[in-house]
Structure 1
């Protein structure tokens, strides 16, 4: 059984790595972006308790899985069940370059144009990773990684 949690900055390659692991090992995949937000405009975070229940339901339904995201508060729920964590700690420049090359994500955006309209905001968000002190920050991701007692991998590039 594989139970892997992947985290890092936006644009670090979390979804790409998760998809590769799913294909290689036949794992179920949970992208935390899909449960972290309420379906409304403007966007608002789903209450932590509600999102936590969604994560626990996924974990209880699947034997082997990969869960990925940048939400340290939600990652803490998943990491309690994980056998392995992967921290993608790429440079800001690499994350921005990846974001600019990101293919359309139809599960997040109604069109490629809608996704592209969000790119400027995403690049600003990525650039703040090292200075933010919120649940999406380098500080909280480093803490998750340091405190995990199982198998852990730190990747500083997308070269695998």
Structure 2
């Protein structure tokens, strides 16, 4: 069983790489947003109770086989930390990351985030929050908080530039000794 946590800023490609790894390794893909947020319309407006989100996530991680967890579980995901075989930390230039986020938001929500749309204000707040990732302090999801958290982890950390092609990122993760050893154990 392999347990990989793929993390980074919003827009850095954690979900995309998590899905690709899940498919390649034929194991579950779990995304922190699915546990952190209650399903609402508009989405991402109501956080789930912390105890409930960790209960749901731990329930999913107990299924047979390994898993990939993408996203960020800072502060609330501590019970998972001893399970990680590898932490993949994605970084990307802020301008490219924000361009990705804007394109993703437009594709997902279209006119709803435009002028006068029902998600205009919430989208603006999200974009401002996402843009401040590289400069915000450690009190919230930020580069500083991620770096601080990474210093406390016992699992190996693989740092990748996510502006690279996803196939290159996938290959680099799969070649990491912590994962290559797990893949060999699974094939036996």
Task: Give, in whole Å, the separation in 1 of the partners of 2:139 and 2:36.
Answer: 15
Distance in 1, Cα, partners of 2:140 & 2:60: 22
Could you tell me which residue of structure 2 aligns to residue 108 of structure 1?
none
Tell me the equivalent position of 2:21: 21
Structure 1 counterpart of 2:126, from 110, 122, 127: 122
Greater share of residues in helix: 2
Cα distance, 1:54–1:37 mapped onto 2, change above 3 Å: same
Once the 2 structures are TM-superposed, how far is the Cα of residue 115 of structure 1 from its aligned partner? 6.3
Displacement after TM superposition at 1:145 (Å): 1.7
Check conservation: 2:137, 2:145, Cα contact below 8 A.
no
Count residues with an aligned counterpart: 155
Kept in 2, the 8 Å contact 1:100–1:119? The answer is no
2:145 corresponds to 1:143:
no
Residue 11 of structure 1 deviates from its aligned partner by: 0.5
Maintained 8 Å contact 1:31/1:67: yes
**Where does structure 1 lack aligned partners over 5 or more consecutive residues?**
106-110
Mapped contact 1:31–1:69 kept (Cα < 8 A): yes
2:84 to 59, 82, 86: 82
* Aligned residues: CA RMSD: 2.4
CA–CA separation in structure 2 for the residues paired with 1:158 and 1:74? 28
Q: Which moved more, 1:62-71 or 1:52-61?
A: 62-71
**1:65-95 per-position Cα deviation (integer Å, ceiling 9, x unaligned):** 1011123123433322111101112232121
**1:157 lines up with 2:127 in the alignment:** no
Gaps of 5+ in 2: 170-188
Q: Pick 1 or 2: higher relative contact order, CA cutoff 8 A, min separation 6.
A: 1
Q: Secondary structure at the match of 1:150?
A: coil
**1:5/1:79 contact within 8 Å kept:** no
Greater C-alpha radius of gyration? 2
Partner Cα separation in structure 1 for residue 6 and residue 129 of structure 2 = 19
TM-score (norm 2): 0.71
Instruction: Name whichever of 24-33 and 140-149 sits farther off.
Output: 140-149
